[in-house]
Structure 1
Amino acid sequence: MARSMLIISRQSPWSGPSAREALDIVLAGGAFELPLGLLFLDDGVFQLISAQKAARLEQKDLTANLQALPMFGIESLYAAKRSLRERGLDDAQLSLPVELLDDAGLGALINRYDHVITL
């Protein structure tokens, strides 16, 4: 049986390659039907905001990759409530349906997975 993996994406889409790398890992794992989850934490929640203007920062827009997650069987998507609140965001601004977790929920989520990778 395949071991489960949680990818924690903590970087904004414009702060470097980490956000794209996290999505690449999740999409590759989904193609092989691995049990995966993706958690957006800290500045990683900025990836979920619709209407990103990546071209202004000479970056590639991650929106298409994010929208492809369900097509690859990745439906376990999570975001930290505290991360959203600390950045002045709310769930109405998110481009994907994610399960919002409080601090206790984050701990429980991490404990459910066999492997955790943080980018």
Structure 2
Amino acid sequence: MSKSLLIISRQAPWNGPGAREALDIALAGGAFDLPIGMLFLDDGVLQLAGAQQSQAVQQKDLTANLQALPMFGVESLYACTQSLALRGMRDTSLEVERLDSDGLRALIDRYDQVITL
């Protein structure tokens, strides 16, 4: 049986390669039918903001990769409610389960392996 994997993405989409690498790992694992969840935490929730203008910072837009997650079997998507609130985000471009600090602890405990980027 495959071990479950939780990927915690903590970087903004334009702040280095971490956000893209987290998405690449999720998409690759999903292609191999691994049970994968993805948690957006801290500045990582900014990946979920709509109408990103990545060209302004000369970066590639991650929206297509985010939208592809469910097609690759990565349907367990989570976001930290406190991270969203601190950044003034009420709406997200993807449907995510919003978790408080107790929910985050329970989520992390459910997965066999955790990668933080």
TM-score range, shorter chain: over 0.9
Identify the residue that residue 57 of structure 2 maps to in structure 1. 57
Residue in 1 aligned with 2:4?
4
1:29: how far off? 0.1
Q: What SS does structure 1 have at the residue aligned with 2:105?
A: helix
Give 1:20 deviation, angstroms: 0.1
- Give the TM-score normalised by the residue count of structure 2: 0.99
Tell me the residue number matched to 1:103.
101
Measure how far apart 1:22 and its partner are.
0.1
Structure 2 gaps of 5+ residues are: none
Counterpart in the other structure of 1:76: 76
Amino acid at match of 1:87: R
Separation in 2 of the partners of 1:86 and 1:49?
13
Amino acid at match of 1:115: Q
Q: Aligned-pair distance for 1:88? A: 1.2
Q: Structure 1 unaligned runs (5+)?
A: none
* TM-score, length basis structure 1: 0.97
| Alignment equivalent of 2:115, drawn from 111, 114, 117 | 117
Q: Which runs of 4+ in 1 moved over 6 A?
A: none
Equivalent position SS for 1:44: helix
Give identity over the alignment, percent. 69
